[in-house]
Amino acid sequence: MARSSGTRLRELLEQRVVVLDGAWGTMLQGASLTPADYRGSLITADHPKDVTGDPDLLNLTRPDVILDVHRQYLAAGADITTTNTFTATSVGQADYGLEGLVREMNVQGARLARQAADEFGGRYVAGSVGPLNVTLSLSPKVEDPAYRAVSYDQVFDSYADQFLALQEGGVDLLLIETIFDTLNAKAAIAAAREVTPDLPLWISVTIVDLSGRTLSGQTVEAFWNSIEHANPLVVGVNCSLGADEIRPHLADLARLAGTHVACHPNAGLPNAFGGYDQTPQETGRLLGEFAAAGMANIVGGCCGTTPAHIKKIADAVAGLPPRAVPQIKPATRFSGLEPFEAGPDTGFVLIGERTNVTGSAKFRKLIEGNDYQAAVDVALEQVRGGANLLDVNMDADLLDSQQAMTTFLNLIATEPEVARIPIMVDSSRWSVLEAGLKCVQGKGVVNSISLKEGEEPFLEQARKIKSYGAGVVVMAFDEQGQADTTERKVAICARAYDLLTQQAGIAAEDIIFDPNVLAVGTGIAEHNGYARPSSTPFR
């Protein structure tokens, strides 16, 4: 039986350092294209928007130019060539009024890359999936920080359409790259896992400055915690910085990630005219150093790089052994803008509960009164008071709980001091939990699910939680009701653990059990045994 391209690529990554191609924008800008090249015979003169400068349209109007770029990079030594589809989503193409051509752009872009790769033999095609021009974690309106120009579902659907078309065109893997907002990336990951589950994923973040954070504020470690659930074949860092500046962030990722690591930086920092001056020799030397130091399995170029850069990179890494993928010790890891890990030496994990309308009359009054700024101040007090996670609950009869959850989480996402810690989305209603998950760019926690309605609904919710990249609190509650003895607590938690780890694919370290330790004395006779010890051990 023939091995799949994904299997062959995995084998190659175990054998040597692999080379990616370079910049597409740089090559297309140097091709002396005219507005007529972009329009071709496809776009009529009365089209309502100017399409000049839309690179993905060239897959349809000037396929010869695109094929030539692929061939130049492959001839320079690239093992992987990327499709010319960086902005080929319905969201991205709306700027040009070309949403209706998105499928054709992606299918044709993948076919052109496939043709070139097959001509050279033993080469691979990565479907290039760029960031959108809108973000789920930041508001474009200064006066309305809770506003979002796009919804999670819209982002999911836009990426899903692109992935299906790239798969139809014949890509070997999907490269979700230049990530500046991890929530956008999580929507892309969820879409990929749903509609193209057999395509390996390469997920690449962009660090925007020397502080080591994305545009939406996450550190490299927080980013990795947020997307590790995707089980990517490759995780990487690209764009924004040159190789010199990207080095410490690559080193962090190489230390943290238990998978293959990639790096494709720009050709240095942009000059005063927006161009890039780093020579092929210098880029090759630096990336060769990264590979020799065991920091990267794949190296290539982003903005400003050319086939000449890729040739020098390929020469520099020839014969070098691949980075050894480390075995990362399992641990309970969450993240907001910053990472949080709970281990044997952590002590008590403090959860801020004052942002819970069922537990705080003050917070409930603020939310019901639509005083969200004062409600954010409550969250700020919790963080400054030492909370490691922030529990947010909007379950009140007079509230539109889904809307309240969305508004509040969108607001605190723009408050860096609060957003730095992980979020615990808390509700007794699944619709509210899911609304909250669609607002969290870090790795949060769902509080909670249980076996109350049986195994199938439990597993369905658990699989959804994993797709959003969150941990989960599980209540000791089953079809017969809430556990009120030690034996029942142990039995229910053990059953839930087996279902979650064996059927839902949730890592053991992402499960938190709430065994329903109730009040020692309530005045109700049947509750008198709640504090009585039992000899039944937990496993």
320-334 mean pLDDT = 96
Nearest CA-CA partner of 262 in 230, 221, 306, 232:
232
With a pLDDT cut of 70, the percent of the chain lying above it is: 96
Domain boundaries, the chain: 5-317, 332-527
Q: What is the pLDDT of residue 244?
A: 96
Say which residue, 160 or 527, is predicted with more confidence: 160
Instruction: State which H helix or E strand residue 154 sits in.
Output: helix 152-169
> What is the radius of gyration, based on Cα positions, of the chain?
25
Q: What is the pLDDT of residue 2?
A: 56
The answer on pLDDT for 535 being more than 80 is no
Q: What is the pLDDT of residue 530?
A: 66
Residue that has been written with the tokens 């508004």 in this structure: 407
Q: What is the pLDDT of residue 116?
A: 98
The answer on pLDDT for 520 being more than 80 is no
The answer on pLDDT for 379 being more than 60 is yes
> How far, CA to CA in Å, does 108 sit from each of 112, 331, 362, 466?
6, 43, 57, 33
* 201 close to 9: Cβ distance less than 8 angstroms: no
Q: Helices marked H in 342-400 — which ranges? A: 361-368, 372-384
Residue 144 burial (CB < 10 Å; 0-12/13-18/19+)? Answer: exposed
451-492 confidence digits (pLDDT tens):
999 999 999 999 999 999 999 999 999 999 999 888 999 999
Look up residue 355 and give its DSSP letter: T
Q: What is the pLDDT of residue 274?
A: 87
With a pLDDT cut of 90, the percent of the chain lying above it is: 91
Task: State how far the Cα of 364 lies from the Cα of 385, in Å rounded to an integer.
Answer: 20
Task: State how far the Cα of 196 lies from the Cα of 129, in Å rounded to an integer.
Answer: 14
76-126 confidence digits (pLDDT tens):
999 999 999 999 999 999 999 999 999 999 999 999 999 999 999 999 999
CA 298-201-3 angle, 5° bins: 85
15-25 confidence digits (pLDDT tens):
999 999 999 99
First to last CA, the chain: 43
Category of 243 on φ-ψ map: left (φ > 0), alpha (ψ -120 to 50) or beta: alpha
Neighbours of 308 (CB within 10 A): 17
133-158 mean pLDDT = 97
In the structure encoding, which two tokens stand for residue 523, read together? Answer: 């005045």
Mean pLDDT, the chain, as a whole number? 95
Task: State how far the Cα of 187 lies from the Cα of 199, in Å rounded to an integer.
Answer: 16
The answer on pLDDT for 449 being more than 70 is yes
User: What's 332-527's CATH class?
Assistant: alpha beta
Task: State how far the Cα of 191 lies from the Cα of 174, in Å rounded to an integer.
Answer: 12
Burial 245-279 (b: 16+ CB within 10 A, else e): bbbebbbbbbebbebbbbbbbbbbeeeeeeebebe
34-54 mean pLDDT = 96
* Strand order across the beta sheet in which 173-179 lies: 18-19, 298-299, 260-266, 234-242, 201-205, 173-179, 124-129, 80-82
Do the bridges between strand 471-475 and strand 445-449 make them parallel or antiparallel, or are there none, so unpaired? Answer: parallel
Q: What is the pLDDT of residue 537?
A: 47
> Torsion over CA of 87, 91, 95 and 100, rounded to 10 degrees?
90
pTM as predicted: 0.95
In which band, very low, low, confident or very high, does the pLDDT at 517 lie, cut at 50, 70 and 90? confident
Q: What is the pLDDT of residue 531?
A: 63
Task: State how far the Cα of 488 lies from the Cα of 165, in Å rounded to an integer.
Answer: 50
Q: Is the dihedral of CA 478, 484, 487, 489 positive or negative?
A: positive
244-271 confidence digits (pLDDT tens):
999 999 999 999 999 999 999 999 999 9
In the structure encoding, which two tokens stand for residue 433, read together? Answer: 């939990």
CATH topology of domain 5-317: TIM Barrel (3.20.20)
Task: State how far the Cα of 333 lies from the Cα of 341, in Å rounded to an integer.
Answer: 4
In the structure encoding, which two tokens stand for residue 361, read together? Answer: 């009359």
Look up residue 242 and give its DSSP letter: E
Neighbours of 22 (CB within 10 A): 31
The answer on pLDDT for 539 being more than 50 is no
Q: What is the pLDDT of residue 538?
A: 42
In which band, very low, low, confident or very high, does the pLDDT at 211 lie, cut at 50, 70 and 90? confident
Task: State how far the Cα of 492 lies from the Cα of 155, in Å rounded to an integer.
Answer: 37
Q: What is the pLDDT of residue 1?
A: 46
* 76 close to 116: Cβ distance less than 8 angstroms: no
Residue that has been written with the tokens 């899911």 in this structure: 434
Nearest CA-CA partner of 484 in 525, 443, 530:
530
In which band, very low, low, confident or very high, does the pLDDT at 273 lie, cut at 50, 70 and 90? confident
Look up residue 61 and give its DSSP letter: H
Say which residue, 423 or 517, is predicted with more confidence: 423
Nearest CA-CA partner of 224 in 326, 81, 80, 79:
326
404-413 confidence digits (pLDDT tens):
999 999 999 9
299-314 mean pLDDT = 98
